[in-house]
Amino acid sequence: MSLFIIIGIAVLVILLIVVTVMQQQRKKQDSEKRIEVARLTLVIDETEDLLSRVVNIPVTKGLMIILHNRILETIKSVQQITNDRNLAIQINDRQTLIESIGKTFQSKGLESFRLPNDDREVLQMVQLIKKLKGVVNSEHKRGRINPEVFTNEIKRADLMQIRININSIIKRAKIAMDAKQSGSARTYLDKAIKTLKAINSDGDSFVKEKLDEAMALMQQLDQVKIERDERQREEQEEKSSTDLDALFQPKKKW
């Protein structure tokens, strides 16, 4: 009888251990699910934030679909984890929105790209473009973007970054010119001119406008150099003439 009691106790202990392990495993799985859902929710929030900020730059239909599709696929992932049937409504609404964008959204050309005057806003724009490139690259790696669309969006982002850099370089050149730092100003303008000439953007009004501006500023620097050299030549000639006059003037007798 005591043997049966021992066996019974052993079985109970084993069952207790199994139940404990299963509970711990379930808790671990639930914890992992909560962490993953939190991560996915953050992805959705960040993408929604990008959508609220792209109004400040010219965007294409392709980029809008990329951002909204990213939210759609993330919501689907959350639903798979949580089995929340209420998310079906959000999925349906997002799909409808994407279809509407595909039919009615008008892409904006880069010629409409305008930089703010405030340096803080320019920095925010730089950060926005950088984040958009990160999203496009991430979605491309997941196989969610057509290669042609991917190439087009990365190229557009690069061109916007070039516009920001060119604008900044020309601004620095003007500051250097005002400070009479001709060497620094010439270095900035030379870099801007070479970059603008290297951009394959035939008919791009921004490129033409900035190239004309940089060339005009360079001409100002050249004119300042010519005038400075002329003044130095005249001063040198005047000094030489004075020295000769002093050398050949009659000596006084005491």
Over the stretch 187-233, which tens digit does the pLDDT of each residue have? Answer: 999 999 998 888 866 667 888 888 999 999 999 988 877 777 676 67
Q: Give the helix ranges, DSSP H, for 179-204.
A: 182-198
Same domain (yes/no): 135, 99:
no
What's residue 65's pLDDT?
96
Question: What's the pLDDT score for residue 62?
Answer: 94
- Please report whether residue 252 resides in a domain: no
Query: What is the domain extent for residue 13?
Result: 1-108
Supply the Cα-derived Rg of the chain in whole angstroms: 35
Residues 161, 129 contacting (CB under 8 angstroms): yes
Return mean pLDDT, the chain: 86
Q: Are 189 and 221 in contact (CB under 8 A)?
A: yes
Q: Is the C-alpha dihedral spanning 218, 222, 224, 228 positive or negative?
A: positive
All residues at 6 or more sequence positions from 124 whose CB lies less than 8 Å from its CB, including other chains? none
- Pairwise CA distance, residues 149 & 59, whole Å: 13
Determine the pLDDT at residue 24. Answer: 82
- Of the three residues 108, 135, 168, the one that is the final residue of a domain is 108
Residues 103 and 170 grouped into a single domain = no
Is residue 250 domain-resident? Answer: no
Report the pLDDT value the prediction gives residue 169, as an integer from 0 to 100. 92
Predicted local distance difference test score (pLDDT) of residue 254 = 47
Query: Position 10: which residue type?
Result: A
Residues 125 and 91 in one domain: no
Helices and strands (H and E) in the chain: how many: 7, 0
Q: In angstroms, rounded to a whole number, what is the distance separating the alpha carbons of residues 36 and 33?
A: 5
Q: State the pTM of this model.
A: 0.77
Does residue 246 lie within any of the structural domains?
no
Q: For residue 74, what pLDDT is reported? A: 96
Q: How many structural domains does the chain have? A: 2
Query: Do residue 161 and residue 180 come from a single domain?
Result: yes
* CA 1/CA 20 separation, integer angstroms: 29
CB 58, CB 109: distance < 8 Å:
yes
Q: Is residue 253 part of a domain?
A: no
Q: State which amino acid sits at residue 116.
A: P
| Last residue of one domain, picked from the residues 78, 108, 138 | 108
Distance, in Å, from the CA atom of 248 to the CA atom of 254, rounded to the nearest integer, reads: 18
| Of 82, 108, 134, the domain-final residue | 108
Distance CA 62, CA 154 (A): 11
What pLDDT shows up at residue 226?
Answer: 78
Residues in the chain with pLDDT < 70? Answer: 1, 200-203, 229, 231-232, 234-254
Report if residue 88 sits inside a domain: yes
* Same-domain pairing of 186 and 149: yes
CB atoms within 10 A of CB 192: 25
Q: How many beta carbons lie within 10 A of that of residue 164, not counting itself?
A: 17
Residues 6+ away with beta carbon under 8 Å from 40: 74, 77, 78, 81
Name the one residue in this structure whose structure tokens are 């991560």.
39
**Which pLDDT does position 251 carry in this prediction?**
55
Is residue 169 located within the same domain as residue 199? yes
